[in-house]
Amino acid sequence: MLRAENPPQSARPWLASYPPGQDSDIPEITFRSIPELVAATCAKFGDQPAFSNMGHALSFREVDVLSDRMAAFYQKELGLVPGDRIVIQLPNLLQFPVAMFGALKAGLVVVNANPLYTAHELKSILVDSGAVAVVVLENFAVTLDQEIGGTDIRHVILTSVGDLLPLPQRAFTNFAVRYVKKMVPAHSLSGTISFRDALSRGAQLVFDAPNIAPEDLAFLQYTGGTTGGTKAAMLTHHNMLANQFQIMGPIRVALQEGKETVIAALPLYHVFCLTVNCLGFFHFGAHNVLITNPRETDALIKTVTKYRPSVLILVSTLAAALLDRPGFDALDFTPLKLSVAGGMALRTQVAEEWERRTGSQMVEGYGLTEASPVVSVNPTVGTARLGTIGLPLPSTYVEIRDDDDVAVPLGERGELVIYGPQVMKGYWNKPEESAKAIGPDGWLHTGDVAIMDADGYVTIVDRMKDMIVVGGFNVYPAEVEEAVLSDPRVKEAGVIGVEDEHSGETVKLFVVRQDPSLTEADIRGYLKDRLAGYKRPKYIVFRDELPKTNVGKILRRELREPGDAASR
């Protein structure tokens, strides 16, 4: 999806609200690709810690060397060529940046996969992307084993949790995960390659860096999209480079390059943490402390105690969980300069309590996968306006448009549309869906209803789409409904999102039975292997009929009951 080379002639009232020192536009991007950024960053910061996990750090220099070895292995041993797709299905481990940067250096297109995907969900991504290789944590290999047949996958690289930890910690960790905690289910995958073996073999090879152009694909990032239905946003090297520069514009105002320690509590396979941590803060020379399982809040508190971070990246629900934990108030938040809430809407009550108890303002922004992903953020210095998504980023244009695609006056509501270098190339193999999302003028239609005030602050007031955000992850009603309707015992199904104190929102399912004996337990059992846990309905309601339009489309808004009044 090509866009006009010159920026639109559009007003940017928010520029007057930028804090001193924040530029209206990003500098000219001299890097042609992410690998060029990685090489320059690693040369600049050398032996400083780049990523830590489980108490062990990799320096920038080590990240560069190890990812070169992975790139050589992909290229010379596996015979992968630029443009080939490779799936990375890892939680936050040191292996993630090594596997990812190595793939990008080899000109491959990275397909990030949630480790919690069911076999059915993983299969759909493998087939749609046409991926030929996968790097997967052995804990989740059984899921891949179930559905690898009928895909183009030729190479499977298996890694263990402790593979990049030093001895004896590596041996102890891997033994504990496999045999004490029994977290590695048996599988029958054959011909797999161990991650450490791949690195060892790559070290014996000479890597030939391919020519990568700015508009070449870097990621296929799967999302329900602005138009619903699962699809992959095509994010180019230029998209990702631009967005990390855009993000770091307001962050540079508050922080010092090469001096910060960042707790990365969101998964790197999530597009927010991917761009903000793995690219933005990495290029800024920050030390990213990777949290493998943020749900283990006691362990997270110990990590905060040990590293005394200056930046915390988390979601609203995790912040609330931390506030409730014993020992939280005993933490020393003196070094904390910035707390960033990403992935889901920030609750005002949580933000106010967080600032009161930590002395650090929690900053909220807005983004979507199709925008690589960040569009706007509240100021990092001064006072954030709670309840808003802040100000559009540098080099970003935002308009609020009516149903005729015409910009409305400030203060009036309409659809939020954006233009900028972070807007995706389009959806993978879906030209019609791409045309729906990105107009002929190059503006991305978000599907969110918003208002912009006179100072340029934007507030999301409604959703044109019915997406549900569960703990920072997008759930699309159509996907859940499709899974439910595949059960022959179900006649009709409708899904909405309702507020939840633990996950922000959760899924509520309405069902009309085909089989009168169908129970709630039957549905839950049926969906267990078809949907990831966060997509499964927390509430199930049986109805004799569901409200519909005159053409038979289910009216989700009319499914809401009095108890759902607080939901969107």
- Indicate the SS3 state at residue 15: helix
Confidence label for 184 from pLDDT (cuts 50, 70 and 90): very high
Listing DSSP states for 316-379 in one string gives HHHHHHHHTSTTGGGS--TT--EEEE-SSPPPHHHHHHHHHHHS-PEEEEEE-GGGSSEEEE--
Q: Considering the chain, what percentage of its residues have pLDDT values greater than 90?
A: 81
Confidence label for 315 from pLDDT (cuts 50, 70 and 90): confident
User: Residue 298: pLDDT above 80?
Assistant: yes
pLDDT at residue 132, as a whole number: 98
Q: Which amino acid is at 101?
A: F
Q: Do domains 1-32+237-465 and 56-212 have the same CATH topology?
A: yes
User: Residue 146: pLDDT above 90?
Assistant: yes
Confidence label for 384 from pLDDT (cuts 50, 70 and 90): confident
Q: Which amino acid is at 130?
A: G
pLDDT at residue 263, as a whole number: 97
Mean pLDDT, residues 96-100 taken together: 98
User: Residue 4: pLDDT above 50?
Assistant: no
Confidence label for 472 from pLDDT (cuts 50, 70 and 90): confident
pLDDT at residue 48, as a whole number: 98
pLDDT at residue 567, as a whole number: 38
Q: By CB neighbour count within 10 A (0-12 exposed, 13-18 middle, 19+ buried), where does 353 fall? A: middle
Cα dihedral sign, 178-183-187-193:
negative
Measured between alpha carbons, how far is 255 from 41 in angstroms, rounded to an integer? Answer: 17
At the fourth CATH level, the homologous superfamily of domain 1-32+237-465 is ANL, N-terminal domain (3.40.50.12780)
pLDDT at residue 511, as a whole number: 96
pLDDT tens digit sequence for 482-522:
899 999 999 999 999 998 888 889 999 999 999 999 999 99
φ, ψ of residue 295 in degrees (nearest 5): -70, -20
Q: Strand (E) positions, 23-132?
A: 49-53, 56-59, 85-89, 109-112
pLDDT at residue 3, as a whole number: 41
User: Residue 77: pLDDT above 80?
Assistant: yes
The CATH number assigned to the domain with range 468-564 reads 3.30.300.30
User: Residue 47: pLDDT above 60?
Assistant: yes
Mean pLDDT, residues 435-461 taken together: 94
Mean pLDDT is highest, among 172-176, 351-355, 563-567, for 172-176
Confidence label for 228 from pLDDT (cuts 50, 70 and 90): low
Mean pLDDT, residues 278-294 taken together: 97
Are 514 and 491 in contact by the 8 Å Cβ rule? The answer is yes
User: Residue 478: pLDDT above 70?
Assistant: yes
Mean pLDDT, residues 22-38 taken together: 96
The CATH number assigned to the domain with range 56-212 reads 3.40.50.980
User: Residue 553: pLDDT above 90?
Assistant: no
Domain assignments of the chain as residue spans, ordered by start? 1-32+237-465, 56-212, 468-564
Q: Please, what is the average pLDDT of the chain?
A: 92
Q: What are the residues facing 365 on neighbouring strands?
A: 377
Note if the bond before 267 is cis, omega within 30 degrees. Answer: no
pLDDT at residue 355, as a whole number: 93
pLDDT at residue 564, as a whole number: 60
pLDDT at residue 563, as a whole number: 57
Confidence label for 555 from pLDDT (cuts 50, 70 and 90): confident
User: Residue 327: pLDDT above 50?
Assistant: yes
Confidence label for 550 from pLDDT (cuts 50, 70 and 90): low
pLDDT at residue 229, as a whole number: 63
Mean pLDDT, residues 7-30 taken together: 91
